[in-house]
């Protein structure tokens, strides 16, 4: 509710001049974190006009190369309810704010607290994954992510909605009877992930689709919506593997078969024409359609290590008001279970993680 409520005019704003050049699911997660931080500070969020050049295209977004091309985000925490005010961008701000160390610019930061009054000093944040949202995590990080992602997708632009609907597949067989058939949302990531120690089974039938069959046995779901960059997975879907009615987007998936990370390949096509298979908006709109359609499903088979899968599952929870039955083939929701707390290596990394957790518990006890 507070995300949707208009806030009082502020002399400051939370300005994100660029989002990291990472996968598109990660970009949305970063945007959600920045939105949460802006909400915590009670400040309007502003995305830089060129904050995400790689994942946008001039032929679709014009000069506004940010997530605002797909979502009305830059006024998400300060706009009035009417559509005209919600669509109005803030005045232009600098593309980049250099971080000054010893009198010289050494790097740039992801987000800056920008002041419109002379008595305020801009502050920089380099690592948005460490942004705290104290007071908003009462029901857990999964709930918080769902609220933030749900708000972002509630602000899809009309043009983005039309592109999503244009990509909606038709089912090979219509469900019979009065009740709507339950649908399993399945995300199979291949492409560059298979070259970077991600979950990439050789047999998709005995992995992903086997778990879908287990959900069918328990819940009676007979349909699958498949979001994938794998041509092999799409072929299995068309073959109605294990007797499932299966639907997926029609797209050229061979373009994703490379060991090079997708964000680097998309970045090289940042100024390519619409005919370029890896043009930023072309790939982003395909991804947004898959996320949107996955969130409509009733049960899930995916990997929560994938930012794409996490965003889709969070969006589902936001729309349904509950967490749907889920099979994650790699990593549960908690990042600690994936080994992130051990960053730093070996016993020293684990000691640092334990010290950080202990320190946090002590601070809470004092408060």
Query: 281 and 69 in contact (C-beta within 8 Å)?
Result: yes
Spatial CA neighbour of 96 closest among 84, 106, 81: 106
Model-wide pTM > 0.75: yes
CATH class of 170-333: alpha beta
119-123 mean pLDDT = 49
Report strand pairing: 12-16 vs 111-115: antiparallel
What is the reported pLDDT for 178? 53
Whole-Å CA distances, 138 to 133, 134, 144, 317: 10, 9, 8, 16
- 1-47 residue pLDDT tens: 555 554 455 557 788 878 888 889 989 998 988 888 888 777 888 88
pLDDT > 80? residue 179: no
Query: 266 and 227 in contact (C-beta within 8 Å)?
Result: no
Q: Between these two residues, 114 and 85, which has the higher pLDDT value?
A: 114
What is the reported pLDDT for 86? 37
Structure tokens belonging to residue 198:
């991600």
Structure tokens belonging to residue 163:
């592109």
Q: Between these two residues, 121 and 134, which has the higher pLDDT value?
A: 134
Angstrom distance (rounded) from CA 154 to CA 185: 20
pLDDT > 50? residue 321: yes
pLDDT > 60? residue 190: yes
CA 28 to chain centre: 3
Per-residue HEC secondary structure of the chain comes to CCCCCCCCCCCEEEEECCCCCCCHHHHHHHHHHHHHHHHHHCCCEEECCCCCCCCCCHHHHCCCCCHHHCECCCCCCCCCCCHHHHHCCCCCCCCCCEEEECCEEEEECCEEEEECCCCCCCEEECCHHHCCCCCCCCCCHHHHHHHHHHHHHHCECHHHHHHHHHCCCCCCCCCCCCCCCCEEEEEECCHHHHHCCCCCCCCCHHHHHHHHHHHHHHHCCCEEEEEECCHHHHHHHHCCHHHCEEEECCCCCHHHCCCCCHHHHHHHCCCCCCCCCCCHHHHHHHHHHHHHHHHCCCEEEECCCCHHHHHHHHHHHHHHCCCCCEEECCCCCCHHHHCHHHCCCHHHHHHHHHHHHHHHHHHHHHC
pLDDT > 80? residue 69: yes
Spatial CA neighbour of 47 closest among 140, 175, 155, 144: 155
pLDDT > 50? residue 289: yes
Spatial CA neighbour of 111 closest among 10, 17, 48: 17
- 217-255 residue pLDDT tens: 999 999 999 999 888 999 999 999 999 999 999 888 878
> Strand 123-125's sheet: what is its strand order?
45-47, 12-16, 111-115, 123-125
What is the reported pLDDT for 164? 94
Candidate ranges 37-51, 79-93, 118-132, 307-321; pick with highest mean pLDDT:
307-321
% of the chain at pLDDT higher than 90: 33
Query: 38 and 12 in contact (C-beta within 8 Å)?
Result: no
Angstrom distance (rounded) from CA 318 to CA 325: 14
pLDDT band at 261 (very low <50, low <70, confident <90, very high): confident
What is the reported pLDDT for 139? 74
What is the reported pLDDT for 143? 85
Contacts of 158 by beta carbon, 8 Å cutoff, 6+ apart: none
- 131-176 residue pLDDT tens: 446 666 677 778 888 989 999 999 999 999 999 999 998 775 555 5
Domain segments of the chain: what residues? 12-141, 170-333
Sign of torsion over alpha carbons 155, 158, 160, 162: positive
What is the reported pLDDT for 183? 96
pLDDT > 50? residue 340: no
pLDDT > 60? residue 97: no
Q: Between these two residues, 296 and 335, which has the higher pLDDT value?
A: 296
Angstrom distance (rounded) from CA 140 to CA 149: 14
């Amino acid at each position: 509710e507070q995300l949707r409520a208009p806030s009082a005019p502020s002399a400051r704003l939370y300005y994100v001049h660029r989002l990291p050049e990472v996968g598109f699911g990660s970009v949305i997660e970063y945007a959600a974190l920045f939105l949460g931080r802006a909400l915590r500070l009670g400040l309007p969020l502003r995305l830089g006009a060129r904050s995400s050049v790689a994942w946008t295209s001039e032929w679709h977004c014009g000069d506004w190369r940010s997530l605002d091309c797909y979502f009305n985000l830059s006024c998400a925490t300060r706009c009035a309810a009417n559509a005209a005010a919600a669509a109005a961008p803030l005045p232009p701000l600098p593309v980049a704010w250099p971080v000054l160390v010893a009198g010289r610019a050494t790097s740039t930061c992801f987000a800056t607290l920008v002041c419109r009054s002379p008595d305020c000093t801009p502050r920089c944040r380099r690592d948005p994954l460490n942004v705290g949202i104290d007071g908003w995590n009462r029901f857990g990080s999964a709930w918080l992510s769902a609220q933030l992602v749900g708000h972002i997708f509630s602000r899809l632009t009309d043009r983005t909605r039309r592109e999503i609907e244009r990509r909606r597949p038709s089912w090979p067989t219509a469900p019979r009877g009065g009740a709507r058939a339950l649908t399993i949302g399945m995300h199979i990531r291949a492409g560059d992930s298979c070259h970077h120690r991600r979950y990439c089974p050789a047999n998709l039938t005995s992995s992903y689709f086997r778990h879908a069959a287990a959900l069918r046995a328990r819940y009676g779901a007979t349909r699958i919506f498949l979001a994938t960059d794998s041509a092999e997975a799409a072929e299995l879907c068309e073959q109605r593997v294990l007797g499932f009615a299966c639907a997926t987007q029609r797209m050229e998936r061979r373009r994703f078969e490379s060991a090079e990370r997708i964000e680097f390949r998309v970045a090289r096509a940042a100024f390519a024409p619409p005919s370029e298979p890896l043009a930023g908006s072309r790939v982003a709109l395909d991804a947004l359609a898959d996320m949107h359609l996955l969130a409509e499903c009733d049960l899930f088979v995916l990997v929560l290590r994938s930012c794409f899968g996490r965003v889709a599952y969070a969006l589902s929870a936001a729309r349904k008001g509950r967490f749907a039955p889920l099979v994650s083939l790699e990593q549960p929701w908690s990042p600690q279970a994936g080994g992130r707390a051990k960053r730093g290596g070996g016993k020293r990394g684990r000691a640092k993680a334990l010290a950080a957790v202990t320190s946090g518990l002590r601070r809470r006890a004092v408060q």
